[in-house]
Structure formats: C-alpha cells, structure tokens
C-alpha cells in the first residue's frame, strides 16, 4: 500500500511539473514572436493556416493598441484628478481663512450687541452674514471620458443647430 501511494503521489507531482513546463514553453513561444512563420520553411500564403495566423496577429496588434490607448487615457485622467485635488485643497484653505475672518466679525458684532444692549441702544451695524464673505464653491470632479465605439458619423445626428429656421 505504501509503495502504491508513493507511486500515485510521484505521478501526480510529475503531471503537475509537466503542465508548468508546458505553460512556460507556450509563454516563451508567444512572447518573442515577431514573424508569422519564422521557422524558415516554405509556406503557402493562401493556405488556411497562414490566413489564421494573419488574422490572429492583426487581432493581437489591435488588442495591444487598445491597451495602450486605455493606459494613456487612465494616465490623463489621473493627472486631471491630481490637478483637481490641488485646486480644491487651495479652495478649502481660502474658505477656511474666510471662515476665521467671519467668526472674528461675528464675535465683534456680538460684543457690540451686548454693549448696545447695556447702553439701551441699537447696535451700530448689522450682524455679518456668511454669504457676504463670498465662499468659493468646490470644483466638480472631472468625469471619465466616454468610451469611443468608433462611431464618428453621429456628431450632428438628430437636429441641425447650425441652420437657422425661418
């Protein structure tokens, strides 16, 4: 029984090692392949095998281009977001300074109000309002660019806004 168990385990291990070796060889064969049929043997260019290789090669090139385009778009979006964050941080700091200025003005007004109340008169100025300090609004987050499906012909589909109607 022990011998049989040892044989089964060694067989399973060898099968797993063979699969790993095959996967590495497949990866190597597709990694550096720049020619469609670079083995030096004569081929029939109108054959099904060569045609399938051409189709597969074109598809792979398109996939690589699409990945590069997505990568570039992602990088551009990351740059936009970093600029947006910097701008909004600056706006937050300016609004914080305005808020401190507003709270000082409100404190001064409250002191004036108490003094006027003690002297039985009206305060000399009205209570400051937050809207008078013109707080800046935060910029909206940049949106991701819409995915292009290759439909360039539908720019003015529907209505013509360039033509004036009588």
Q: How far apart are CA 161 and CA 155, in angstroms?
A: 12
* Predicted confidence (pLDDT) at residue 79 exceeds the cutoff of 90: yes
Q: How much is the pLDDT for 136?
A: 83
Residue 65 forms part of a structural domain: yes
Residue 17 forms part of a structural domain: no
Residue-number span of the structural domain to which 63 is assigned: 45-144
Higher model confidence: residue 159 or residue 67?
A: 67
Residue 50 forms part of a structural domain: yes
Residue 6 forms part of a structural domain: no
Q: How much is the pLDDT for 165?
A: 45
Residue 20 forms part of a structural domain: no
Q: Label residue 19 by pLDDT band (50, 70, 90).
A: confident
* Phi then psi dihedrals of residue 60, to 5 deg: -65, -40
Q: How much is the pLDDT for 164?
A: 46
Distance of CA 134 to the CA centre of its chain: 33
Residue 76 forms part of a structural domain: yes
Write the Ramachandran bin of 164: left for phi over 0, alpha for psi from -120 to 50, otherwise beta.
beta
Residue 75 forms part of a structural domain: yes
Reported as type and span, the H/E element at residue 39 is none
pLDDT tens, 20-47? 888 877 766 665 556 666 666 666 677 7
Q: Is 152 exposed, middle or buried (0-12, 13-18, 19+ CB in 10 A)?
A: exposed
Residue 116 forms part of a structural domain: yes
Mean pLDDT of the chain: 79
> Residues 59, 48, 67, CA angle at the centre, nearest 5°?
5
Q: Please give the tally of structural domains in the chain.
A: 1
Q: Model-level pTM? A: 0.47
């Amino acid at each position: 029984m022990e011998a049989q168990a040892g044989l089964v385990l060694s067989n399973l291990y060898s099968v797993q090692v063979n699969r790993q070796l095959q996967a590495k060889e497949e990866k190597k064969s597709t990694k550096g392949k720049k020619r469609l049929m670079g083995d030096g043997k004569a081929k029939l260019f109108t054959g099904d095998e060569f045609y399938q290789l051409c189709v597969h090669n074109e598809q792979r090139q398109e996939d690589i281009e699409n990945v590069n385009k997505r990568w570039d778009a992602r990088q551009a979006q990351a740059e936009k977001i970093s600029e947006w964050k910097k701008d909004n941080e600056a706006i937050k700091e300016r609004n914080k300074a305005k808020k401190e200025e507003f709270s000082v003005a409100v404190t001064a007004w409250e002191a004036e109000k108490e003094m006027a109340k003690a002297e039985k008169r009206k305060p000399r100025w009205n209570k400051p309002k937050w809207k008078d300090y013109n707080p800046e609004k935060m910029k909206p987050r940049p949106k991701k660019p819409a995915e292009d499906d290759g439909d360039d012909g539908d720019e003015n589909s529907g209505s013509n806004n360039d033509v004036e109607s009588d």
